[in-house]
């Protein structure tokens, strides 16, 4: 049966059903299927419109004819060093991955021994020095390097085919045939750009550059900067430690509403109770001493003198008793205003020693809020009171809210993460919904108008000024 008598659009399985019968006929069907696949790949290579499309075709379609389990496509990079551009079955090449570095190292060492323009069959383990971990875990050790050469012997790139089985002569012949087709397609794509009217392109680029430079000089844009923000309470009541001691219990949970006079925090009062008891006993002793000296004062002049000393001692003991009583009362902190308790965690403070004046929590009004913005010094721009702010909440970034700048620090302060930032305070626009305390997001700050060129090259200009010391 002649090959020319078969329809070109008949699939391989249909051909097998049509010709099944004798081994010779089945072998003829396989040859026809392989020929059709080869012609199809060559046609697709000629029709490729970009180099990237051609590289993906080389990596993925060549496996159908060469029995390769994986194909690495190499192209000359900077310094004419061969680099992996595409790997079969992968959408993106991770240049820092161990397998890519090992394969590039292997091809580089092989090219030092034999020119990269020669087809060569070898074992990958032969070039695994320094990359043993990658080589031992790679299952396809049988490799063949097939260069893609132009008519003048120019190296356009190459294919590294890997498999677990040795290569046959037919695999090498088909791979070499495909490499020549791919080299021709790469050369045509390269010449296609060279044949373009470069003088028109140069004029077009000059015109576009002139227009862009003119717009950069005259087009005004508003300076913008991005900075993190947090919703905080406006004028909150700070609950601080009135005495030095250890917190025994916090009686409110975070974000819990509290009323005026409600107990918030209890300090450990064992020492304070004992101190009050001792002070009361000492006061009782001082009172008894006063009564005794009062009786002696009627008969003895010296008793009158001792009576005045005893009265002074009684006053001292009374003051110590009152002081101990005040400390004991301050071991319980009560709310002086209503609101919600704002702090991090109950377990974080319980059992922890506090110094006098150290902050414990805040009592805030959830309806009275403001926006605290930390503007990094690297993004600092000129801001004015009343300037516009757009707030993009992390919980709802698609619906920003607008606000106005109320104040801005003139000096940067340390922030978490060992960074310096300017604290900007803003308030939401009138009629805006009141967000929950503690919400975070990204604020876009608007400054004065500047030329577009300054807006685009502000960071490079600042870096150049610092580097040059101007």
Q: pLDDT per residue over 229-284, tens digit each?
A: 998 888 888 888 888 888 888 888 888 899 898 888 888 888 888 888 888 888 88
Which CATH number goes with the domain that contains 257? 2.40.50.100
From the list 190, 215, 168, 211, the residue with the least C-alpha distance to 65 is: 168
What is the mean pLDDT of the segment spanning 399-428? 86
The confidence score (pLDDT) of residue 198 equals 53
- The percent of residues in the chain predicted with pLDDT above 90, rounded, is 8
Same domain assignment for residues 71 and 190: yes
pLDDT over 60 (residue 294): yes
Cα separation of 212 and 320, whole Å? Answer: 81
Q: Which structural domain, as residue segments, surrounds residue 251?
A: 235-263+333-364
Same domain assignment for residues 418 and 358: no
| Higher per-residue confidence, 10 vs 224 | 224
pLDDT over 80 (residue 330): yes
Q: Give the count of domains, the chain.
A: 4
3 lies in some domain: no
Same domain assignment for residues 291 and 348: no
- 384 falls in which pLDDT band (50, 70, 90)? confident
- 43 falls in which pLDDT band (50, 70, 90)? confident
Same domain assignment for residues 255 and 359: yes
The confidence score (pLDDT) of residue 8 equals 39
Cα separation of 303 and 326, whole Å? Answer: 34
In this prediction the pTM is 0.46
Where does a domain end: 320, 347, 364? Answer: 364
Which CATH number goes with the domain that contains 421? 2.40.30.170
Which CATH number goes with the domain that contains 79? 3.30.450.40
Least confident of 51-65, 79-93, 153-167, 287-301: 287-301
| Higher per-residue confidence, 224 vs 441 | 441
Cα separation of 78 and 58, whole Å? Answer: 22
Same domain assignment for residues 155 and 85: yes
Q: Which residues are within 8 A (CB) of 176 and not within 5 positions of it... i.e. 6 or more apart?
A: 119, 146
The confidence score (pLDDT) of residue 303 equals 64
Least confident of 22-26, 252-256, 276-280, 345-349: 22-26
The confidence score (pLDDT) of residue 200 equals 62
What is the mean pLDDT of the segment spanning 316-341? 86
- Which DSSP state fits 463? H
Same domain assignment for residues 159 and 142: yes
Q: Are 176 and 146 in contact (CB under 8 A)?
A: yes
What is the mean pLDDT of the segment spanning 395-413? 87
From the list 425, 466, 17, 450, the residue with the least C-alpha distance to 229 is: 425
């Amino acid at each position: 049966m002649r090959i020319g008598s078969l329809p070109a659009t008949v699939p391989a399985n249909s051909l097998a059903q049509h010709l099944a019968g004798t081994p010779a006929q089945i072998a003829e069907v396989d040859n026809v299927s392989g020929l059709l696949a080869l012609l199809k790949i060559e046609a697709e290579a000629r029709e490729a419109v970009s180099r990237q499309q051609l590289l993906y075709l080389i990596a993925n379609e060549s496996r159908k004819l060469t029995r390769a389990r994986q194909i690495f496509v190499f192209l000359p990079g900077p310094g004419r060093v061969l680099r992996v551009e595409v790997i079969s079955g992968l959408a993106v090449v991770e240049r820092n991955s161990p397998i890519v570095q090992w394969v590039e190292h292997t091809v580089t060492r092989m090219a030092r021994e034999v020119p990269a323009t020669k087809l060569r069959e070898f074992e990958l383990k032969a070039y695994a020095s320094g990359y043993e971990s990658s080589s031992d875990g790679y299952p396809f050790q049988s490799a063949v390097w097939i260069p893609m050469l132009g008519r003048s012997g120019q190296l356009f790139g190459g294919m590294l085919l890997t498999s677990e089985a040795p290569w046959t002569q037919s695999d090498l012949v088909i791979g070499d045939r495909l490499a020549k087709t791919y080299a021709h397609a790469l050369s045509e794509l390269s010449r296609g750009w060279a044949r373009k009217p470069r003088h028109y392109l140069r004029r077009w680029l000059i015109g576009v550059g002139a227009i862009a430079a003119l717009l950069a000089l005259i087009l005004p844009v508003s300076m913008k900067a991005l900075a993190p923000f947090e919703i905080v309470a406006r004028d909150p009541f700070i609950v601080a430690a009135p005495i030095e001691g250890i917190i025994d219990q916090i009686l409110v949970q975070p974000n819990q509403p509290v009323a005026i006079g409600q107990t918030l925090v209890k300090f450990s009062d064992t020492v304070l109770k004992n101190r009050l008891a001792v002070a009361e006993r000492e006061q009782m002793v001082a009172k008894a001493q006063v009564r005794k000296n009062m009786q002696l004062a009627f008969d003895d002049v010296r008793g009158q003198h001792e009576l005045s000393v005893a009265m002074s001692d009684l006053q001292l003991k009374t003051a110590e008793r009152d002081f101990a009583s005040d400390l004991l009362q301050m071991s319980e902190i009560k709310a002086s205003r209503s609101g919600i308790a704002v702090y991090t965690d109950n377990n974080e403070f319980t059992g922890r020693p506090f110094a006098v004046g150290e902050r414990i929590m805040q009592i805030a009004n959830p309806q009275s809020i403001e926006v605290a913005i930390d503007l990094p010094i690297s993004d600092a721009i000129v801001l004015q009171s009343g300037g516009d702010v757009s707030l993009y909440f992390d919980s709802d970034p698609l619906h920003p809210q607008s606000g106005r700048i109320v104040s801005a620090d003139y000096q940067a302060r340390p922030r978490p993460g060992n960074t310096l930032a300017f604290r900007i305070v803003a308030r939401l626009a009138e009629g805006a919904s009141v967000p929950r305390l503690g919400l975070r997001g990204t604020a876009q700050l608007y400054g004065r108008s500047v030329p577009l060129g300054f807006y685009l090259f502000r960071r490079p200009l600042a870096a150049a000024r610092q580097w040059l010391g101007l």
